[in-house]
Amino acid sequence: MKTAGIISIIVVILVIGLIGLILFNNINNSNIENPNTDNSNEVNDISGSTNEVDDFSGGQINDANNNPKTYTINIENYDYKPKTLEIKKGDIVIWMNKDSVRHTVTSDNGNELDSKLLADGETYSHTFNNAGEFNYHCKPHPYMKGVITVINN
């Protein structure tokens, strides 16, 4: 009788352990297949509205309806990343300063681009409604240069 009781206890422990292992494995697999999304890629433009942008420089939000796309250019290490970007008319570009010093986004010619001094973490947003090549620089650091090429849709 003692042996049967001990065997019963061992079987119960093994069954509980097996169920726990199966449940743990299902939880881990569901996290891999459906990872939690976060909003760490959201930035505020100067109007205060939120625009989601990809984490990599030159990233875009794809839109199946061919609506305007939003691109981001990071300002870091005294450089625009990417330095050049080709977009379509109506697309939006957001510059995000990731440097501890202030920078601007200023047209080389004309006034298409004319941001204030952007502190670390601040953004400047511009919608490009005209085709053409738009060269820009940073006022305090004129060696910082970038080019936006806007093509017709």
Q: What is the pLDDT of residues 45-78, one digit of tens each?
A: 343 333 334 333 444 444 556 789 999 999 999 9
- The residues near 79 (Cβ < 8 Å, ≥ 6 apart) are 144
How high is the pLDDT of residue 36? 39
Query: pLDDT tens digit string along 109-149?
Result: 989 999 999 999 999 999 999 999 999 999 999 999 999 99
**All domains in the chain, ordered by first residue:** 53-151 (2.60.40.420)
Least confident of 6-10, 66-70, 74-78, 87-91: 6-10
Q: Tokens 């691109």 belong to which residue?
A: 71
Rounded Cα gap, residues 21 and 23, in angstroms? 6
**Residue 86: pLDDT over 90:** yes
pLDDT of residue 32: 37
For residue 41, the model assigns a pLDDT of 38
pLDDT at position 65 is 66
* C-alpha Rg value of the chain to the nearest Å: 26
How far is it, in rounded angstroms, from Cα 37 to Cα 31? 11
